[in-house]
Structure 1
Amino acid sequence: MHPFTKLYFWLFLGVSTTGFAQPRTDSFLKNLLATNQHPVFKKVMQHPDDYRLQIIYTKIDRDKDNKPSFTNYCFRVDSTEYFNPASTVKLPLALLSLEKLNNLRNLKLTKFTAMQFDSSYSGQTKEWTDKTAQSGYPSIAHLIRKAFLVSENDPYSRMYEFVGQGEINRSLHAKGYLDTRITHRFVRMTAEENRHTNAVRFIDESGKLIYSQPAAYNQDPFDFSRTARLGKGYYVKDSLVREPFNFTERNKFPLESFQQVLQSVMFPTSVPARKRFNLTPDDYRFLHQYLSQLPGETNYPKYDASQYYDTYVKFFFMDSLHHQLPKGVRVFNKVGWAYGFLTDASYVVDFANKVEYMLTATLYTNSDGILNDDKYDYESIGHPFLYQLGQTIYQYELTRKRTHTPNLKAFVMPYETRQTDSRPLVKDVDN
């Protein structure tokens, strides 16, 4: 059997055997969540099916040698129930980009090397410079910064073009993330255009070519046998189409896979070897820094800290009144929001109180059932719920007794200090 055929045989088998799976709910987490009496939180918890709510709380305990162990508690977790992953897929794309660089085994290529994107097929665009980068050029490192700090969209599309659609999906499936698929950029393109990816080149400081990657085309098939349709209508420009929106061929990233990918970044030896990415110690330090660094601490890009406040992409701590994290807390996470879905996977560290845990959740907030109308319930339902969820778990963790106090010094990062200069602030990015 051809390797690709074998891969998709097992992918099909994995999908077919999970098609009848029941959502997993653990009584411990259900009872813990029931202690929160906030009106918005109770409303969602009383109708979790309507909100397509899924939650994974990961309790972390250390032994006497500081080795962590992980216990997952779930609420309505079901890999067969579709949610739109939105920007959460930027996390695996960042890891695959670093992994591809490492696999090239070219000492002149690093995540900081300048790169340029050509236009090689219809719908594609060039990107030869980047004014927000200190070097003036795109690089894998700078794309990751922008994708993590405020969740910019263009960096994701560029990493998609560097890795290539076929390689993205083959790599994720080979690592065991079988029910995950990445089919498109975050720009409007046809399915055929998304199968084509740009020619890319890396250059040195003098502009001399170091490495050239030709344009690519993905010939591998996708399994779209499980349909995903949501809502009662959607807009195409100014016209309302009165039928469910079809997500069947869109990106898919189940919540369990999302949690596992983040865990593989924060605690690589805690997941099976095949689920890890080929990253260097410096890659891990870089990822840890920019998963947790705040926009206002960052010099390149120089984001407007009033617009991109500390908790802008920290949903479990995004209080409508206070936009700052509790003193001593850092959140290593990735979020996504689109089509009424809000999703976050976080590793939370409270250095002051010696607390650590993971929390991953998604919910759907679209009471009118119409998509693409920009009328979602993010502010009235989504963000308040996720904040209350985050507080419920955080407050529990503050009081939870541990046999061994964790040593968290491995996650103390060398964050930047914002410099004062005349460069304009970066505002209103597409995310």
Structure 2
Amino acid sequence: MRYCLILLFCCCQIYGLQAQSRTDTLLRNLISREASPALKHILQYPDSFRYQLIYTQIDRDAHNQPHFKHYYLDVDADKYFNPASTVKLPVALLALEKLKELKAEGITGNTPMLTDSSWSGQVTVHTDSTAENGLPSIYHYIKRIFLISDNDAYNRLYEFVGQQTIHEKLWDKGYKRARIVRRFMPLSEEENRHTNAIRFEDNGKSIYAQPPAYSTLAFDYSKKITMGTAYMDKNDKLVPLPMDFTRQNNLPLEDLQQLLQSVLFPASVPASRRFNITEDDYRFLYRYMSQYPSETTYPKYDTTEYFDSYTKFFLFKGAGHNIPPYMRVFNKTGWSYGFLTDAAYIVDFKHNVEFMLTGTIYVNRDGILNDDKYEYEEDGYPFFKEIGKIIYGYELQRQRAHNPDLSQFRIDYTK
């Protein structure tokens, strides 16, 4: 009995260590072998840069069905990173799910959606100057989310779905650790629980009214999460204490990878984890997850600021308009508080190559949060660009039993 207990204890200890940080030799060796001195420096300090990476190989069978193999580098659900704008991905998907539920009301993705103010801190939004008809809608908000990671568009969809529904739906799909409790505007915890009254109109006539909502959910904040050595408060005053992220949004990297995979390859995940959206909505998502700001008229963007690789971190960030025409990236990025994150599906139509990369890194040398002094340009973007190049180079020479038919991801962006 004593021997069995000792063996059980040792197994639990080993399992605990594995659960804390997951690394595959293939991925570590591949990156280490090709890494530049700058990248090697980052890899030497996992505690400082807090990087995590998931590389997903995709192999097609004789029927073109994709099969996935994930490789991990220092992936740990307990190693917190601020998900920033990556939370816009699940909220956009849930908005499309709710849109489908409202189809019987005569509501489509293009139906004008008017947001009213129902509680303190809320804003009224009845127009959208970036839309062709000057009116806000679910589809137009989602365009803005994926084209330039627009915060206001996310806020409106957060309000449309509601904080409680966001979590009930995500938890039901298996994303138990997802926590999306904040809009991207200065609101208190209580104000974020309240969401606005919303109306949908057709030719100026109201066809559906959604009352204000309040989230009664209890969240587990028992594990305290702090970052850095100091932070700037809302009055730009330095507070000489670590910044508290305990009640911030949370989305573990594996969940983010699975969310992206469930959208691009819904049949590859269990039915219980899929989003209940239409085929047209899938096509809509594929278009705007991969389209460049220069390729859209509504919204119309200044491409000197919003260049083609503005939200494409892996391989291309900083490359401006130099993305090869035969490549596309279907992704969602986020950046905040020194954290950079990207979940991407990368396609090379010329060489019949496809793979997924999901990663995050923390770049904040002075340890001060909220001071807008982060090493995004010096360390962060080069990390993603080089990792992307290393994996892409490996994918170009990796042997496949069957060439993939990638036609479902070919999109005519001129239409």
- TM-score > 0.5, shorter chain as reference: yes
Contact kept? 1:328, 1:352, Cα under 8 Å: yes
User: What residue is the counterpart of 2:45 in the other structure?
Assistant: 47
User: What residue is the counterpart of 2:4 in the other structure?
Assistant: none
| Aligned partner (choices 338, 345, 348) of residue 350 of structure 1 | 348
Deviation at 1:238, TM superposition (A): 2.4
CA 1:233–1:116 in structure 2 vs 1: closer, same or farther (change >3 Å)?
Answer: same
Q: What one-letter code is carried by the residue in structure 1 that aligns with 2:367?
A: G
Q: Could you tell me how far apart the structure 2 residues matched to 1:413 and 1:320 are? A: 24
User: What residue is the counterpart of 1:373 in the other structure?
Assistant: 371
User: What residue is the counterpart of 2:6 in the other structure?
Assistant: none
Q: Could you tell me how far apart the structure 1 residues matched to 2:317 and 2:335 are? A: 17
1:211 aligns with 2:212: no
Contact kept? 2:307, 2:320, Cα under 8 Å: no
User: What residue is the counterpart of 2:3 in the other structure?
Assistant: none
Contact kept? 1:312, 1:323, Cα under 8 Å: no
Give the percent of matched residue pairs that are identical in Structure 1 and Structure 2.
54
| Partner secondary structure for residue 34 of structure 2 | coil
Deviation at 1:226, TM superposition (A): 1.6
User: What residue is the counterpart of 1:232 in the other structure?
Assistant: 229
Offset from partner CA, 1:22-78 (integer Å, 9 cap, x none): 200000100111122312211111112211110000000000110100000000111
| Aligned partner (choices 257, 264, 267) of residue 265 of structure 2 | 267
Q: Could you tell me how far apart the structure 1 residues matched to 2:404 and 2:105 are? A: 37
Q: How does 1:402-421 map to 2 (within 5 A)?
A: 402-416=400-414
Q: How does 1:45-124 map to 2 (within 5 A)?
A: 45-106=43-104, 108-124=106-122
User: What residue is the counterpart of 2:142 in the other structure?
Assistant: 144
User: What residue is the counterpart of 1:421 in the other structure?
Assistant: none
Q: Could you tell me how far apart the structure 1 residues matched to 2:383 and 2:185 are? A: 30
CA 1:18–1:302 in structure 2 vs 1: closer, same or farther (change >3 Å)?
Answer: farther
Q: Could you tell me how far apart the structure 2 residues matched to 1:104 and 1:113 are? A: 11
Contact kept? 2:20, 2:77, Cα under 8 Å: no
Q: Could you tell me how far apart the structure 1 residues matched to 2:105 and 2:410 are? A: 29
Q: Could you tell me how far apart the structure 2 residues matched to 1:416 and 1:116 are? A: 29
Q: What one-letter code is carried by the residue in structure 1 that aligns with 2:137?
A: S
Q: What one-letter code is carried by the residue in structure 2 that aligns with 1:213?
A: Q
Shift >3 Å, 4+ stretches:
17-20, 319-323
CA 1:104–1:18 in structure 2 vs 1: closer, same or farther (change >3 Å)?
Answer: farther
User: What residue is the counterpart of 2:326 in the other structure?
Assistant: 328
Contact kept? 2:86, 2:332, Cα under 8 Å: yes
User: What residue is the counterpart of 1:37 in the other structure?
Assistant: 35
Using the TM superposition, name which of 313-322 and 57-66 deviates more.
313-322
Using the TM superposition, name which of 88-97 and 325-334 deviates more.
325-334
| Partner secondary structure for residue 397 of structure 1 | helix
| Partner secondary structure for residue 220 of structure 1 | coil
Q: What one-letter code is carried by the residue in structure 1 that aligns with 2:124?
A: K
CA 1:18–1:202 in structure 2 vs 1: closer, same or farther (change >3 Å)?
Answer: farther
Deviation at 1:326, TM superposition (A): 2.3
Q: Which runs of 5+ in 1 are unaligned?
A: 1-16, 418-431
Q: Could you tell me how far apart the structure 1 residues matched to 2:18 and 2:412 are? A: 47
| Partner secondary structure for residue 317 of structure 1 | coil
Deviation at 1:18, TM superposition (A): 7.9
Q: Could you tell me how far apart the structure 2 residues matched to 1:321 and 1:202 are? A: 41
Offset from partner CA, 1:365-389 (integer Å, 9 cap, x none): 0010000111001000000111000
Q: What one-letter code is carried by the residue in structure 2 that aligns with 1:134?
A: E
Quote the RMSD (CA, aligned, Å): 1.4
| Aligned partner (choices 368, 392, 395) of residue 394 of structure 1 | 392
CA 1:112–1:44 in structure 2 vs 1: closer, same or farther (change >3 Å)?
Answer: same
Contact kept? 1:18, 1:80, Cα under 8 Å: no
Contact kept? 2:310, 2:317, Cα under 8 Å: no
Q: What count of residue pairs does the alignment treat as equivalent?
A: 400
1:243 aligns with 2:265: no
User: What residue is the counterpart of 1:291 in the other structure?
Assistant: 289
| Partner secondary structure for residue 21 of structure 1 | helix
1:220 aligns with 2:246: no
Q: Which runs of 5+ in 2 are unaligned?
A: 1-14
| Partner secondary structure for residue 358 of structure 2 | strand
User: What residue is the counterpart of 1:197 in the other structure?
Assistant: 195
- TM-score scaled by structure 1? 0.91
